[in-house]
Amino acid sequence: MNARLSSLALAAAALSATMAHAADSATIKVSHDLAQARPSETITVAWAEINRALPGALVQKIAVKDAAGRVLPHQVTNIAPLSKDPQGAGIAYGELIFQHSFAAGEKSASFTVEKIDGIAPPFPVKAFARYVPERLDDFAWENDKIAHRTYGPALGAPAEAGSGKEVLVTSGLDIWFKRVPYPIVDRWYNKGHDHYHKDEGEGMDMYNVGKSRGAGGTGVWDGQQLYTGRNYKSWKVLANGPVRAVFELSYDSWDAGGTAVSEVKRFTVDAGRQLDQIDSTFSFSGPASVLVAVGLNKTPTDKGQSPQISVIKGPQGDTLMQWVEQSSNGAMGTAVVLPGAQGMAEDALNQLIYTKVTAGKPLRYYAGAAWSRAGDITSKADWERYVAAEAARAANPIKVQCCGK
């Protein structure tokens, strides 16, 4: 009898140890329906799910691992800036974010989130955004592939007599072309304006915006005229790397052919991607809907580049691309992916792709660029394939199953 009790006790202890070990990790399963590769696919899981599976898990004391046991860079977002969590219950956190590159034909993958004893080391920052007050209220963002900026109130303000201040009124989006994977935004602003207009090994600012939409700015289209806003009015950073940066830019109301329209743009910038996800929410009253167009500048190059510009319209009608061969600055591609696009057009400044939008409902599109000198995309055919693959990914999102559900 004693021997039997002893055996039962040992079995119970073993079961308890197994359960305790299981409670120290959570499994995440991800799947999708495409046969194509999905490099740098971003996976998000609500922190509430992680906290439910791993009670008391601390964001600085977890590891995310793939099926081979490799530790993956990750981040955990806050629900709101300066959120508080006095009980340490994880209520201040929003999402766990990490990435996986699916090979062609790989339609599923599994990951574990584990509690660790030590402190997780910081991961290299591959997505970053910031307000730049030292350059007339610019707002700049980047990942390891491409960088951008747009323009704030100080640049749009009139110049006092004799001040020499630059003035530019536009809500267009600019591009800084990179040929290095590390962050360059701070480095280039610190180098000064003259330097980042030259390729000194890291890349260059060679894109022209002016009054155009740049690479992915928006406006209201009435079939003949594009009505656009001014420089952004306010900004808010919601997440800032190392894997994903999220921020919002708000634009004051403008007159769109008799309808007052305002806009809030939310940018989601993921590591490893040439295109950013942009969710634009328009506010207006009166009409049930308006046509919103997303544009690409018709004259995107510096002076003296004698550009040969190919405008490419995707066969499904949801992608608008340019491939621009330059005389001395290499070649660049720009693109907009607009799911559900209803047509394409152009005005004096822009190639346009448009769709109908209702007030208060976000319009999701993707915009970005690539540069031949970066080495990843070096031809028009490369760019067409890349953008087509990104459009397919947008139309077929991944499915995430967490923590035994």
- Domain of 156, CATH number, reads 2.70.98
φ and ψ at residue 270, rounded to 5 degrees = -105, 145
Whether 166 and 260 map to the same domain: the answer is yes
Q: pLDDT-derived band of residue 1, with 50, 70 and 90 as boundaries?
A: very low
Residue 196 is predicted with a pLDDT of 86
Asked if residues 28 and 111 have their Cβ atoms less than 8 Å apart, the reply is yes
Mean pLDDT of 186-194: 83
Mean pLDDT of 208-222: 97
> What whole-number distance in Å separates Cα of residue 65 and Cα of residue 71?
4
Residue 220 is predicted with a pLDDT of 98
H/E element holding 372? none
Q: pLDDT-derived band of residue 238, with 50, 70 and 90 as boundaries?
A: very high
* Mean pLDDT over the full length of the chain: 92
Whether 343 and 368 map to the same domain: the answer is yes
Residue 4 placed within a domain: no
Residue 403 placed within a domain: no
pLDDT tens profile 15-68: 333 333 445 899 999 999 999 999 999 999 999 999 999 998 999 999 999 999
Residue 393 placed within a domain: no
Mean pLDDT of 124-129: 98
Lowest average pLDDT, out of 4-13, 92-101, 348-357, goes to 4-13
Helices (H) and strands (E) in the chain, counts: 5, 26
CA distances to 169, 203, 210 from 158, rounded to whole Å, are 10, 31, 16
Whether 172 and 254 map to the same domain: the answer is yes
Whether 74 and 193 map to the same domain: the answer is no
Whether 225 and 246 map to the same domain: the answer is yes
Q: Which one of 83, 100, 123 terminates a domain?
A: 123
Residue 92 is predicted with a pLDDT of 77
Whether 290 and 160 map to the same domain: the answer is yes
- The tokens 């969590």 sit on which residue? 85
Residue 353 is predicted with a pLDDT of 98
The yes-or-no verdict on residue 3 having pLDDT over 70 is no
Residue 5 is predicted with a pLDDT of 38
Mean pLDDT of 213-229: 97
Residue 157 is predicted with a pLDDT of 96
Residue 364 placed within a domain: yes
pLDDT tens profile 259-312: 999 999 999 999 999 999 999 999 999 999 999 999 999 999 999 999 999 999
Q: Which one of 69, 93, 123 terminates a domain?
A: 123
Residue 380 placed within a domain: no
Between residues 191 and 330, the one the model is more confident about: 330
Residue 82 is predicted with a pLDDT of 59
Residue 127 is predicted with a pLDDT of 98
Structure tokens at 160: 């006092």
Asked if residues 293 and 353 have their Cβ atoms less than 8 Å apart, the reply is yes
Residue 71 placed within a domain: yes
Residue 191 is predicted with a pLDDT of 78
Whether 94 and 132 map to the same domain: the answer is no
List Cβ neighbours of 250 (8 Å cut-off, separation of 6 or more). Answer: 232, 233, 234, 235, 236, 262, 263, 264, 265
pLDDT tens profile 87-108: 666 667 899 999 999 999 999 9
Residue 22 is predicted with a pLDDT of 43
Whether 163 and 38 map to the same domain: the answer is no
Burial class (CB in 10 A: 0-12, 13-18, 19+), 189: middle
The yes-or-no verdict on residue 134 having pLDDT over 50 is yes
Residue 5 placed within a domain: no
Whether 73 and 207 map to the same domain: the answer is no
pLDDT tens profile 139-164: 999 999 999 999 999 999 999 998 99
> What whole-number distance in Å separates Cα of residue 155 and Cα of residue 385?
37
Mean pLDDT of 158-176: 95
Q: How many folded domains does the chain comprise?
A: 2
Q: What is the DSSP annotation of 37-75?
A: -EEEEEEEEEHHHHHHHSTT--GGGEEEEETT--EE-EE
Residue 304 placed within a domain: yes
Whether 31 and 96 map to the same domain: the answer is yes
The CATH number covering residue 60 comes to 2.60.40.1180
H/E element holding 347? none
> What is the extent of the structural domain holding 170?
127-374
Lowest average pLDDT, out of 190-194, 222-226, 227-231, 287-291, goes to 190-194
The count of C-alpha atoms lying within 13 angstroms of the C-alpha of 11, restricted to the half-sphere facing its C-beta, is: 6
Residue 23 is predicted with a pLDDT of 55
Residue among 96, 129, 144 nearest 278 (CA): 129
Whether 362 and 248 map to the same domain: the answer is yes
Q: pLDDT-derived band of residue 378, with 50, 70 and 90 as boundaries?
A: very high
Whether 117 and 185 map to the same domain: the answer is no
The yes-or-no verdict on residue 12 having pLDDT over 80 is no
